[in-house]
Chains A and B, each alone.
Chain A
Amino acid sequence: KQEVTQIPAALSVPEGENLVLNCSFTDSAIYNLQWFRQDPGKGLTSLLLIQSSQREQTSGRLNASLDKSSGRSTLYIAASQPGDSATYLCAVRDSGGSNYKLTFGKGTLLTVNP
């Protein structure tokens, strides 16, 4: 059974700092990995999707990397801003089968202080 772990559970940084969020998964046979952002009381917003054949994806100040063989992904946020404060969730879709369901980590709560 796939398990996804996110470290740290919470992170507080001053504005302007570059930071890295970590995600690890136990079964490397994944189809893709997706990073989401969740604001308090809100739904999930997709940030980046990395296919199993890719090493990284970039969107603006965000860069996500994937090392499938070691079961790890990182989300790099450059020049953090208070508006980046949210919970960041990592989710993987296992390869094989036709259900496309995701397994989620419990998230990292990020606070960027002005």
Chain B
Amino acid sequence: NAGVTQTPKFQVLKTGQSMTLQCAQDMNHNSMYWYRQDPGMGLRLIYYSASEGTTDKGEVPNGYNVSRLNKREFSLRLESAAPSQTSVYFCASSLLGDRGYTFGSGTRLTVV
């Protein structure tokens, strides 16, 4: 089925460990996004890629890096995980802003 695929779905890390969250879309969308969702805070934008080859910081970029590998894939890397990064991470994509957004099913990350 067409859509946004995120891997892994669940992950537990120890403080200081690193990991990469993967995201791929098969809808030929131009723009891709990473959000985090925390209780009481709602969804907040971490990084986005308006088009292949470009990335920009969102509202809460500290502690994260991203790579737009190609038009389909947009990864999020935590270099040195901290408990404050415990959250649910969502990847999204859009063709153009006027077409709306499609979200992945999320990655639930716990940092202990």
Binding site for B on A (CB under 8 A): 31-32, 34, 36, 41-46, 49, 51, 89, 91, 93, 98-102, 104-107
Contacts and interface: CB of A to CB of B under 8 A. Distances in A.
B50 A107 contact: no
B105 A34 contact: no
A44 B90 contact: yes
Most buried by A among B35, B43, B99: B43
Instruction: Please classify how large the interface on chain B is, using the bins under 10, 10 to 19, 20 to 34, 35 or more.
Output: 20 to 34
Most buried by B among A46, A51, A102: A102
Interface of B: 31, 33, 35, 40-45, 48, 50, 56, 58, 90, 92, 94, 96-106, 108
A91 B103 CA distance: 13
A46 to B, nearest CB: 6
Contact of B45 (A36, A45, A101, A107): A101
25 contacts: A32-B97, A32-B98, A32-B100, A42-B105, A42-B106, A43-B90, A43-B103, A43-B104, A43-B106, A45-B103, A49-B99, A51-B98, A89-B43, A91-B43, A91-B101, A99-B31, A99-B48, A100-B31, A100-B48, A100-B50, A100-B96, A102-B33, A102-B43, A106-B40, A106-B41
A99 B99 CA distance: 13
A22 B94 CA distance: 25
Contacts of B103: 36, 43-46
A46 B97 contact: no
Nearest to A100: B97
Given A44-B90, A49-B100, A100-B97, A107 B33 contact: no
